[in-house]
Structure 1
């Protein structure tokens, strides 16, 4: 039995920005109750990268909220749209990735989404199911549904055009493809970030043109990264991955600026409004509130015990300057050494804390590298390698060095 309409509204509208339209959503909820028919709520995910971070997860949690209310979660894996590249919120054409890479990423996306959704009750579809069958004539017919003037209403396209930044024709196709997905799955509601609103509205237009009842477009806030500047992104390194260890999650959460705490509380935790308001009360020290927030983020993807352990380890490392309980062993071949020594930049790369020697040198110059808690400040230094010594890079990355003989 579906919940009362007002109760459903309160749950699904938390953390939302745009609802087009609220009146239509109320009508859909009422009709759903009268007919005892769950709404079909759609979310599309383009697997352009192998990992989901807590920013990506915001609309997935919203889909879970609808699912928990008894509605049908429709998750579209955009294996075809991903090869086009979503132009939303970017200031240049996205590089096109191969279909093989998209499918590889899709495998991890689905398993990670399963940390949030009940996949047994989720309708999972790949949009290649209908786009593969389209002829070029079908593509032209779809393209005829949109004018260039309407497409240029998009703020990101307008800014690029005015700045003289090229816009490729295939980027115009993307919102039409996303809108066509809505037509194919008969969605009643579509979810997305605020940067997706244009594409969600295209879905409404295409449904209306086809004589179907248009979907409600519901957008969620975008989450800034832990640097507090730009939208959370794996490519910018300012993200918290939903499969990261509790310690890594907790440490990253503790680094966010204080002015973003309320947004993280609302979008990245399961705490209710009363709990959040109490923690952000003027009488509560910001660090106390931030610890509670970091614990809540860890609990969401792990459990309460892991959250408490991560908090205790954070205190040991940053307040008591102790080492973590668990430090990964990294084997270094003896052939890498010359007279028992190795270039510090090379060691950092071998421990996968940097991808290039240049990046490793910068880490040393920035003062973020130490051996057994002794700071390393010279990027040209050749250090003596002793079994069991601990390399620390940044605030949260550790490696215990294990020498391995090569034969």
Structure 2
């Protein structure tokens, strides 16, 4: 195994890895486990798909992948009743499979892991954590603004989940960072190993807000119809000449230029004709206002519709 090449593949389009040297050591193991936890709370969108891409890269590097469906955590976070969350969980698992994870991926329901041994670990971890630290860990995860006991319990349970699943690498969005850092601090104090943490950037919502979210309605789902994808992108925030925090250009970065060296922009001859651009050239052309937002949107829509065609087909046939 070429360690450096494998590290580059795993860490592509990540926000940070804590720590790379530890990841190199983990890669030498014959058996290694990478985990990510998702609350079953709505549609699976481009933000989730970005994380699954990293899980697939870890799978290719020889990791056993465990997808933790955090139904109890979602319940603590006010996302619905356990019965409602089970229905959403079934749909979410189907979506994750549609994104191409291999058949040996293990899907684990949080409520199935609750044992006396697990709860004893939770209680021990709770004695090492202040309420304030626990609540700070939830700052970007919590659904509501009011603080309750459930909000303090959530990150402690997540920390113990990592040990309970024998995790070598924990993957999550940047909103999970404080919980992951809590795990790296507490688990060694309990005599358990601390996981390597890989953090995925949060992609902007179609409305230009900081985070794509099903609860905000500013998302593109992996099983959206071609018509819905086109309509959502047409309505997306995409100011003329602005490249920073532009969700349409962000989609191109993560979901077009990840596989294509150049992107084809199709437009009528009267508006300059077709363009075939590298990402650097696209940013330059757009920032200089030599490309209309609708021409960009039309092209990104076409690529995304094609990109997620296999996922749509899977969802329709399974």
Q: TM-score, normalised by structure 2?
A: 0.78
User: What is the aligned partner in structure 2 of residue 58 from structure 1?
Assistant: 50
After TM superposition, give the deviation of residue 249 of structure 1 in Å: 1.2
Q: TM-score, normalised by structure 1?
A: 0.62
SS in 2 for 1:219: strand
What stretches of structure 1 of length at least 5 have no aligned partner?
86-94, 307-407
1:178 aligns with 2:158: yes
1:45 aligns with 2:58: no
Task: Please say if residues 254 and 290 of structure 1, whose CA atoms lie closer than 8 Å, have aligned partners that are also in contact.
Answer: yes
User: What is the aligned partner in structure 2 of residue 11 from structure 1?
Assistant: 9
Task: Please say if residues 66 and 108 of structure 2, whose CA atoms lie closer than 8 Å, have aligned partners that are also in contact.
Answer: yes
User: 2:138, 2:86 → 1: CA distance?
Assistant: 31
- Residues 77 and 210 from structure 1, CA distance in 2 versus in 1: closer, same or farther, beyond 3 angstroms? same
SS in 1 for 2:15: strand
User: What is the aligned partner in structure 1 of residue 170 from structure 2?
Assistant: 190
User: What is the aligned partner in structure 1 of residue 198 from structure 2?
Assistant: 218
Q: Tell me which of 293, 300, 305 is aligned to 1:293.
A: 300
After TM superposition, give the deviation of residue 288 of structure 1 in Å: 4.3
User: What is the aligned partner in structure 2 of residue 229 from structure 1?
Assistant: 209
After TM superposition, give the deviation of residue 113 of structure 1 in Å: 0.6
User: What is the aligned partner in structure 2 of residue 243 from structure 1?
Assistant: 223
Task: Please say if residues 41 and 71 of structure 1, whose CA atoms lie closer than 8 Å, have aligned partners that are also in contact.
Answer: yes
Task: Please say if residues 40 and 188 of structure 1, whose CA atoms lie closer than 8 Å, have aligned partners that are also in contact.
Answer: yes
User: What is the aligned partner in structure 2 of residue 24 from structure 1?
Assistant: 22
User: What is the aligned partner in structure 2 of residue 363 from structure 1?
Assistant: none
What stretches of structure 2 of length at least 5 have no aligned partner?
263-278, 314-318
* Deviating more after overlay: 218-227 vs 112-121: 112-121
Q: Tell me which of 115, 123, 127 is aligned to 2:106.
A: 123
User: 2:285, 2:79 → 1: CA distance?
Assistant: 48
User: What is the aligned partner in structure 2 of residue 277 from structure 1?
Assistant: 280
1:207 aligns with 2:187: yes
- Residues 233 and 83 from structure 1, CA distance in 2 versus in 1: closer, same or farther, beyond 3 angstroms? same
Give deviations 1:376-395, integer Å, cap 9, x for gaps: xxxxxxxxxxxxxxxxxxxx
After TM superposition, give the deviation of residue 154 of structure 1 in Å: 4.1
Rg larger for: 1
SS in 2 for 1:226: coil
- Residues 39 and 265 from structure 1, CA distance in 2 versus in 1: closer, same or farther, beyond 3 angstroms? farther
User: 1:214, 1:24 → 2: CA distance?
Assistant: 10
Give deviations 1:57-79, integer Å, cap 9, x for gaps: 22122112211333221111112
Point out which structure has higher relative CO (alpha carbons under 8 A, 6+ apart). Answer: 2
- Residues 152 and 241 from structure 1, CA distance in 2 versus in 1: closer, same or farther, beyond 3 angstroms? closer
- Residues 155 and 46 from structure 1, CA distance in 2 versus in 1: closer, same or farther, beyond 3 angstroms? closer
After TM superposition, give the deviation of residue 142 of structure 1 in Å: 3.3
CA-based RMSD of the aligned residues comes to: 2.8
Q: Which has the higher helix share?
A: 2
User: 1:262, 1:38 → 2: CA distance?
Assistant: 38
User: 2:252, 2:59 → 1: CA distance?
Assistant: 22
Give deviations 1:194-251, integer Å, cap 9, x for gaps: 1110112223234323433321111111111111124222222211111111221133
